[in-house]
């Protein structure tokens, strides 16, 4: 319940700050002020384009490794109660994953897309 109340306060804080400033600020809108800011130039084209995503290899590795981190966190919590075999399995699991990451990084170095 403490976290829930905190969440309500945390949501109210920015909302109230934005809302209250409405009654204190000047609102003299100028259509020139509403153009997209590009250091004074008139922007050419839209910015919502298909972005050239150069680091997709890292993104794939990130997704794979993030799941592993969840397992590692759970494993860390119950570590003291585990059998030797279970500890060894997890270490092997991380080792296998490290081999995969090394290989992926090697590919990434050769083919920088």
**Binding interface with other proteins (CB under 8 A):** 1-3, 5-7, 9-11, 13-15, 17-18, 21, 24-29, 31, 33-39, 43, 46-48, 51, 53, 55, 58-59, 61-62, 65-66, 69, 72-73, 75-77, 79-80, 87, 91, 94, 98, 101, 105
Helices (H), the chain: 2-21, 56-77, 84-110
Min dist. Cβ of residue 101 to other proteins (A):
7
CB of 97 to other proteins, least distance (A): 9
Contacts of range 71-77, beta carbons closer than 8 Å, 24 or more positions apart: none
Handedness of CA 104, 105, 106, 111 (dihedral sign): positive
């Amino acid at each position: 319940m403490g976290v829930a109340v905190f969440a309500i306060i945390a949501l109210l804080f920015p909302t109230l700050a934005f809302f209250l400033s409405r009654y204190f600020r000047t609102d003299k809108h100028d259509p020139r002020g509403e153009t997209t800011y590009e250091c004074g130039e008139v922007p050419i084209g839209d910015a919502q384009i298909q972005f050239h995503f150069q680091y997709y290899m890292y993104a794939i590795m990130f997704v794979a490794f993030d799941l592993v981190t969840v397992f590692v966190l759970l494993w860390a919590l119950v570590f003291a109660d585990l059998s030797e075999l279970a500890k060894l399995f997890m270490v092997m699991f991380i080792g296998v994953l490290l081999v995969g990451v090394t290989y992926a990084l090697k590919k990434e170095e050769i083919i920088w897309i």
